[in-house]
Structure 1
Amino acid sequence: MNEGRFSRLVAMGRGDGLRAQLLRGGMGVGALKVLSLPLMLLATILLARSLGPEGFGQYAFVIALITTLSIPLAPALMQLTTRETAGMHQAGDDGRIRALLQWANRHVLLGSVLVTIVVGGAALWFAEWQVDDRWTLLLAGLIALPLLGLNAVRAGILAGLRRVVQGQFPDLFVRPLVLLVVAGSLLVAGSLNPLTAVVAFLVGLAMAFAVGVVLLKRTFPESEGASPARDAALNRQWLHAWMPFTVLVAASTLSTQSGILLLGWLSTDDQVAAMQVAERGAMLVALSLTVVNLVIGPHITQVHRSGDPLRLQALSRHSARMALVVALPIALPLIFFGGPILSVVFGAQYAEIATLPLAILAVGQLINVGFGSVGMLLTMSGFEHDTLLGQVVALLVSGVAAAILIPSLGAVGAALATAIGLIVWNVVLAVLVTRRLKMWPGPI
């Protein structure tokens, strides 16, 4: 019986059909996620326990701020390069893919310099040069900007070439492994503090960049001829497309990071730590949807351009069902038994402050998974402006809720605001998917 099921699974994974491609991609990225998840959790646990709620809160706030500053340079360019590469790869235009890679790398470096000058100048002015001073930590963290951007461009190109596993390997495996090793070494040496934790984060990024460069060259080697000539019209086209992606990703990122950022300004460091720990736990619920989105992004572009709405509907339905089946058994223990889990994993001090935020965020993420890949369906079909509309509405709702709830409720208020924004985002985008693509997203 089991051998028969395994044989059918192997057979389904062969060939070039939609289901086979999804199965192979999902198994590959899923295996990588499963492999990397313990490393990420161990690194978070080590830092949270060693730095304590206040020190870990300072570290988490600065990393969240750096992540926000990298929005146009990293996640926005990753989505843009994935979409453009998928289309050009389908057309067999490798020369333009190389031109896209060079264009994106140039803009990452230029943008990193501009952001560093502005933000670094402010950090230099206010820095107290202490290992637990936020401005000092931010000044060190700015080194991450070009690394985050170049890593994202490389991952986007590889995803567009249907090499999702190779694209995600440096960030999902190399980076957390190096962070864990470096942070553990600093702890053994008695030198682990918020500043050296940021340094460990930077070392992980640098190693991920080095491995990513090697993987990209092996998968998509440089042309032996001259470098592709710059196409001014094509560069303008990418630049114009980059702006909506930036605003889109900014709204999406701020919808989740605004809780941490506002807690950093309106509450205390231990509440920031509580929210960070709760978000790490809730991320497990959305893990399956994250894997699905990484796999189906290029396929959405290709299926939509082929003009086959029934195939697009099938792609949405199969992927959403897969994500929900995996998410449900993860969410329920976090919702109902979060306290004991946090106490064992992070310590009793975190169980006291993070149990309720974890339950709230787990519920929100479960609803998020239930709606399926609404944002990816719109974005990869060329309707990123509609996705932006949903993101802006959700950001406004969650931002107002956070400003109202955080002063009195702390991390609980931030979790409520984040969950509310997540639900609003999914509802708005689901309606837009039905209007634009004439289909209903989700598992049904």
Structure 2
Amino acid sequence: MNQGLISRLIASGRGDGLRAQLLRGSVGVGALKLISLPLTLAASILLARSLGPEGFGQYAFVIALITTLSIPLAPALMQLTTRETAALHQAGEESRIRTLLRWGNRHVLFGSALVMVVVGGVALWKADWQIDDRWTLLLLGLSSLPLLGLNAIRSGILAGLRRMVIGQFPDLVIRPLALLFVATVMLLGGFLSPLTAVAAFIAGAVSALIVGTVLLRRTFPETGDVLPSNDASQHKQWMQAWMPFTLLVAASTLNAQIGILLLGWLSTEEQVAAMQVAERGAMLVVLSLTVVNLVIGPHITQVHKAGDHIRLQSLSRYSARMALLVALPIALPLIFFGAPILALVFGNEYAEIATLPLAILAVGQVINVTFGSVGMLLTMSGFERDTLLGQVVALIVNVIAAVSLIPIMGVVGAAIATATGLVCWNLVLGLLVMKRLKIRPGPI
């Protein structure tokens, strides 16, 4: 029976059909995620145990802030370049893809310089020049902004070319591997601190950019084609699309990070560390949906442009089923046996403060996976403004709940706020998917 199942899986992965492409892409990106997961967890465990709740909380807060500042330069441009590259590749306009790469590089460098001057100036003014001072940590962490943005563009272009696996390799494998290696060396050398942990994060970003650049050049080498660099209308179109993507990713990222950011201002570093640990665990639940989203993004664009609603419905249904079947066996132990798992992995001090937040966030992520790729379906079909609407509604709910609950309940209140915002987001986007795309999201 097992042999028959394996044979059917192998047969399903052959050919150019929808199921075959999804299966091959999911297996490839899923394998990277399986490699990335222990690396990321190992780095988090190493830092959490070595720095303690207070030091790890300081590090987590600064990295969350850097992630927020990188929104227009990294994740927003990655989604934009993925969509535009997929469309240009389908149209056979290879030279415009190279123009897109150069356009993205210029805007990342300019935007990074602007943020570093403004935010860096404030940090420079407030810094105490201590290894555990958040402004000093932020000042160092700002140097990672151009690295994150340039690598995101390369990943987006490779994904648009249907090279999802190698496109995700630098971020999923190289970056956490380099972070883990550098942090381990610093720990063995006896000088691991919140400041050197941020330096290890930067080392990971540098390594990912180097590898991403090499992979893009090998996959999509430079040629002597004449580039339409003065195509003002094309540049204007990209700029107009960039803002909705930025707002969309900003709302999405803030929905995920607002708990840590508000805990950093309204509570203690220990509470920030608890939230970071709980979120790390809950992200295991949504791992399958993340893999599916990476794989189906370019396919959604192409199927929608072809006007094939039946195939789009199949794409949504199959991907949601795959994600939910993987998510449930991960979520249930985290919900019901979180304390011993946290004690074993992170230590007893984290089990005491992160067990209930972990269970709350895990439940929220199960609901998230059940709805399927609602955000990706709208965004890659050209309805990113609708996706933004859902994210904004969720963010407003999240912020109101967090500001109300954190002073009373601390990290538990932050977890409730995050899970509530996540559920609101899926409800709004699920309705918009049915309205705009005429399909029903989810596994049924």
What is the DSSP-based 3-state SS (H/G/I as helix, E as strand, rest coil) of the residue aligned with 1:143?
A: helix
How many residues are treated as equivalent by the alignment? Answer: 444
Structure 2 Cα separation of the partners of residues 5 and 374 of structure 1: 30
Counterpart residue number, 2:140: 140
**Alpha-carbon displacement from aligned partner over 1:38-69 (angstroms, at most 9, x marks no partner):** 11000000000000000000000000000000
Structure 2 counterparts to residues 170-185 of structure 1, below 5 A:
170-185=170-185
Structure 2 Cα separation of the partners of residues 348 and 3 of structure 1: 43
| 2:59 is the alignment partner of 1:59 | yes
**Alpha-carbon displacement from aligned partner over 1:105-154 (angstroms, at most 9, x marks no partner):** 10000000000000000000000000000000000000010001011101
| 2:43 is the alignment partner of 1:43 | yes
Amino acid at match of 1:211: V
Structure 1 Cα separation of the partners of residues 115 and 79 of structure 2: 21
After the TM superposition, list the runs of 4 or more consecutive aligned residues in structure 1 that deviate by more than 6 angstroms: none
Q: CA deviation at 1:7?
A: 1.7
Counterpart residue number, 1:381: 381
What is the DSSP-based 3-state SS (H/G/I as helix, E as strand, rest coil) of the residue aligned with 2:353?
A: helix
Q: CA deviation at 1:226?
A: 4.2
Q: Give the share of equivalent positions with the same residue, in percent.
A: 75
Structure 1 Cα separation of the partners of residues 392 and 102 of structure 2: 31
Counterpart residue number, 1:194: 194
Structure 1 Cα separation of the partners of residues 439 and 6 of structure 2: 33
1:99/1:230 contact within 8 Å kept: no
Structure 2 Cα separation of the partners of residues 443 and 7 of structure 1: 24
Structure 2 counterparts to residues 147-296 of structure 1, below 5 A:
147-296=147-296
| 2:18 is the alignment partner of 1:18 | yes
Which is worse superposed, 418-427 or 215-224? 215-224
1:374/1:441 contact within 8 Å kept: yes
What is the DSSP-based 3-state SS (H/G/I as helix, E as strand, rest coil) of the residue aligned with 2:441?
A: coil
Structure 1 Cα separation of the partners of residues 120 and 82 of structure 2: 30
Structure 1 Cα separation of the partners of residues 255 and 156 of structure 2: 22
Structure 1 Cα separation of the partners of residues 420 and 192 of structure 2: 36
Q: CA deviation at 1:302?
A: 0.2
Q: CA deviation at 1:227?
A: 4.2
1:327/1:366 contact within 8 Å kept: yes
| 2:36 is the alignment partner of 1:31 | no
Specify whether residues 225 and 92 from structure 1 end up closer, same or farther in structure 2 by C-alpha distance, changes over 3 A only. Answer: closer
What is the DSSP-based 3-state SS (H/G/I as helix, E as strand, rest coil) of the residue aligned with 1:142?
A: helix
Counterpart residue number, 2:397: 397
**Alpha-carbon displacement from aligned partner over 1:200-220 (angstroms, at most 9, x marks no partner):** 000011001000000000111
Q: CA deviation at 1:3?
A: 2.2
Which is worse superposed, 273-282 or 221-230? 221-230
Could you tell me which runs of 5 or more consecutive residues in structure 2 were left unpaired when the two chains were aligned. Answer: none
2:374/2:441 contact within 8 Å kept: yes
**Alpha-carbon displacement from aligned partner over 1:191-239 (angstroms, at most 9, x marks no partner):** 0000000000000110010000000001110112444432111000000
| 2:297 is the alignment partner of 1:297 | yes
Counterpart residue number, 2:370: 370
Structure 1 Cα separation of the partners of residues 66 and 318 of structure 2: 36
1:175/1:207 contact within 8 Å kept: yes
Structure 2 Cα separation of the partners of residues 427 and 376 of structure 1: 14
Amino acid at match of 1:202: I
Counterpart residue number, 1:107: 107
**Alpha-carbon displacement from aligned partner over 1:305-348 (angstroms, at most 9, x marks no partner):** 00110000000000000000000000000000000000000000
Structure 1 Cα separation of the partners of residues 223 and 135 of structure 2: 44
Structure 2 Cα separation of the partners of residues 210 and 230 of structure 1: 28
2:95/2:226 contact within 8 Å kept: no
Structure 2 counterparts to residues 86-97 of structure 1, below 5 A:
86-97=86-97
Amino acid at match of 2:312: L
**Alpha-carbon displacement from aligned partner over 1:226-278 (angstroms, at most 9, x marks no partner):** 44432111000000000000001100100110000000000000000000000
Structure 1 Cα separation of the partners of residues 196 and 70 of structure 2: 21
What is the DSSP-based 3-state SS (H/G/I as helix, E as strand, rest coil) of the residue aligned with 2:365?
A: helix
Amino acid at match of 1:248: L
Structure 2 Cα separation of the partners of residues 46 and 116 of structure 1: 29
1:98/1:228 contact within 8 Å kept: no
Structure 1 Cα separation of the partners of residues 98 and 31 of structure 2: 29
2:304/2:381 contact within 8 Å kept: yes
**Alpha-carbon displacement from aligned partner over 1:370-389 (angstroms, at most 9, x marks no partner):** 00000000000000010010
**Alpha-carbon displacement from aligned partner over 1:272-310 (angstroms, at most 9, x marks no partner):** 000000000000000000000000000000000001100
Could you tell me which runs of 5 or more consecutive residues in structure 1 were left unpaired when the two chains were aligned. Answer: none
2:95/2:225 contact within 8 Å kept: no
What is the DSSP-based 3-state SS (H/G/I as helix, E as strand, rest coil) of the residue aligned with 1:191?
A: coil
Structure 2 Cα separation of the partners of residues 347 and 230 of structure 1: 57
2:96/2:227 contact within 8 Å kept: no
Amino acid at match of 1:354: A
Structure 2 Cα separation of the partners of residues 41 and 104 of structure 1: 31
Structure 2 Cα separation of the partners of residues 225 and 266 of structure 1: 55
Q: CA deviation at 1:400?
A: 0.3
What is the DSSP-based 3-state SS (H/G/I as helix, E as strand, rest coil) of the residue aligned with 2:131?
A: coil
Q: CA deviation at 1:10?
A: 1.1
Amino acid at match of 1:110: F
Q: CA deviation at 1:2?
A: 2.2
1:39/1:177 contact within 8 Å kept: yes
Amino acid at match of 1:29: V
2:84/2:160 contact within 8 Å kept: yes
Counterpart residue number, 1:315: 315
Structure 2 Cα separation of the partners of residues 90 and 8 of structure 1: 30
What is the DSSP-based 3-state SS (H/G/I as helix, E as strand, rest coil) of the residue aligned with 2:381?
A: coil
What is the DSSP-based 3-state SS (H/G/I as helix, E as strand, rest coil) of the residue aligned with 2:78?
A: helix
Counterpart residue number, 1:4: 4
RMSD: 0.7
With the length of structure 1 as denominator, give the TM-score of the two structures: 0.99
Counterpart residue number, 2:439: 439
Counterpart residue number, 1:84: 84
